Amino acid sequence: MNGVFKMPIRVLIADDIPTTREDIKRLLYFEEDIEIVGEAIDGQDAVRMTGELKPDVVLMDINMPNMDGITATEQIAVVSPQTAIIIISIQGEYEYLRKAMAAGAREYLVKPFSAEELANAIRRVYETQQRRNSLIANPSAVSFSGSSGRKKGKVITFFSSKGGVGRTTLACNMAVMLAQETKKNVALLDFDLESGDVAVMLNISAKMTLADLAQEEEHIDMQAVEGFLIPHISGVKVLPAPISPEQAELITPTHVEQLLKVMKENFDFVIIDTSPLYSETNLIVLEQSDIVVLVLTPELTSLKHVKTDAEILKKLNCEYKIKFVLNSQDNEGIKVKDVERALGSPLLVSIPADPKTVKNAVNRGVPFVMAQPNARVTEGIKELLQKLELVKNKAQEEQKKSIIMRMFSL
């Protein structure tokens, strides 16, 4: 901001264990753009020191005496809203993490992490916070990541005119894995306006939803949207569906158009869950999408629906966006090759049925891609990302490696 002399990012460490504080300092020792300005020994100390020092970023432990990291995060959001908080946690603290994100933390890191991961997380939250701060200071400068349309995120929509096929399950888990694997900005929009389940599936408490956004704002821009996006512990920013079905009426097609435009300009990926209807909202969403994942299960009824959906998308000139994904595949249902023959098109991927893993994850409010990284259904989501070319697959990595080897041997 100030010409060539860039101020370092000022960081406060809050952890009750001295050796952990030392470890963090050591990890950041060589990062010239990051400066440790203080060390707090518990939550209370963290709030007091943040008030005094106004650091850019606080690295916050969860379990601390006197005041825990979640309460401290909540209080810092009030005393120093311009400070961004990164939660440092250990494996398995999902419930705490969720609370911390709801309390206003911007990111989390699970121990152990590398110096690079830590420094990158600090830089990332700092940059986002700077943009947020400048928006607050100067609302007319609506430039979150360049509102001039410079950036254009990819919109991926999960659709089927038959309910209960797994749209929400796939959309949530894919968004979470995408955010974690790519570290890019991923948004998840729940456009199942009358009975959206995204908030429940991700265990997010949605006080403000799309309906409030639509009601409060005549014109939707990033500044307006920001306050309604709920950060999930995976890094995904979630816009939940209205809490009660009748609120769905508050959302007009113009709102949807404006919202999608803003989201595309400000996120790398926008993942959308839909209702099983050809509503006006869904038609706009389908039209605006880059990829439409038509979800089906291995049953005749689902197959019939999805064939009709493909026909309708063809009429809407959206045929090129279609990717067929078979969900809940098992030995009892229609075979993959029969599904493909009936569709007249190959499936992009088939995701296995795994009721135990899926139900368990829903009940815990932790997406299975986080809770069960080795489950076959998680592999299925990974394959979905690879086939959509959103993350690299093993073969591509190998190819890259061999190209590098060849270059060196020349």
Ligand X SMILES: Nc1ncnc2c1ncn2[C@@H]1O[C@H](COP(=O)(O)OP(=O)(O)OP(=O)(O)O)[C@@H](O)[C@H]1O
Under rule CB under 5 A, residue 185 binds Mg ion:
no
Stretch that binds ligand X, among 122-130, 138-146, 352-360, 396-404 (CB under 6 A): 352-360
Under rule CB under 6 A, residue 167 binds ligand X:
yes
Closest residue to Mg ion, judged by C-beta, is 168
- Whose Cβ is closer to ligand X: residue 12's or residue 381's? 381
State the minimum distance, in angstroms, from the CB of residue 98 to ligand X: 19
Under rule CB under 6 A, residue 165 binds ligand X:
yes
Q: Other CB atoms closer than 10 Å to residue 1's CB: what's the count?
A: 7
SS3 410: coil
260 and 284 in contact (C-beta within 8 Å)?
Answer: yes
Helices (H), 191-252: 198-201, 210-216, 222-226
385 and 406 in contact (C-beta within 8 Å)?
Answer: no
Strand 237-239 relative to strand 230-231, pairing: antiparallel
Return the residues of window 192-231 that contact Mg ion according to CB under 5 A: 197
Under rule CB under 6 A, residue 292 binds ligand X:
no
Percent helix, strand, coil in the chain, to 5, is 50, 15, 35
> What 8-state DSSP symbol labels residue 75?
H
Under rule CB under 6 A, residue 99 binds ligand X:
no
Site string for ligand X, 358-387 (x = CB under 6 A): xx--x--------------x----------
Return the residues of window 138-167 that contact Mg ion according to CB under 5 A: 167
Under rule CB under 6 A, residue 355 binds ligand X:
yes
Contacting ligand X (CB under 6 A), which of 18, 65, 81, 164? 164
- Whose Cβ is closer to ligand X: residue 50's or residue 168's? 168
Return the residues of window 242-271 that contact ligand X according to CB under 6 A: none
Q: Rounded distance, CA 236 to CA 108, Å?
A: 12
Stretch that binds ligand X, among 22-30, 117-125, 279-287, 356-364 (CB under 6 A): 356-364
Contacting ligand X (CB under 6 A), which of 75, 169, 185, 266? 169
Contacting Mg ion (CB under 5 A), which of 168, 203, 234, 288? 168
Closest C-alpha among 20, 79, 77, 24 to residue 52: 79
> What 8-state DSSP symbol labels residue 105?
-
Q: Other CB atoms closer than 10 Å to residue 185's CB: what's the count?
A: 21
Stretch that binds ligand X, among 138-146, 260-268, 317-325, 355-363 (CB under 6 A): 355-363
User: What's the token pair of residue 331?
Assistant: 């030995």
CA distances from 375 to 201, 356, 391 (A): 18, 10, 19
Contacting ligand X (CB under 6 A), which of 45, 68, 192, 265? 192
Q: Which residues of 25-41 are buried (b: 16+ CB within 10 A; e: fewer)?
A: eebbeebeebebbbbbb
| Residue 226 identity (one-letter amino acid) | E
Contacting ligand X (CB under 6 A), which of 43, 276, 333, 367? 276
- Whose Cβ is closer to ligand X: residue 106's or residue 162's? 162
113 and 59 in contact (C-beta within 8 Å)?
Answer: no
State the minimum distance, in angstroms, from the CB of residue 333 to ligand X: 11
- Whose Cβ is closer to ligand X: residue 109's or residue 243's? 243
**Helices and strands, counts by H and E, the chain:** 17, 13
State the minimum distance, in angstroms, from the CB of residue 200 to ligand X: 9
Phi, psi angles (nearest 5°) of residue 95: -60, -45
Give residues in contact with Mg ion (CB under 5 A): 167-168, 197
Give residues in contact with ligand X (CB under 6 A): 163-169, 192, 197, 276, 327-328, 351, 353-355, 358-359, 362, 377
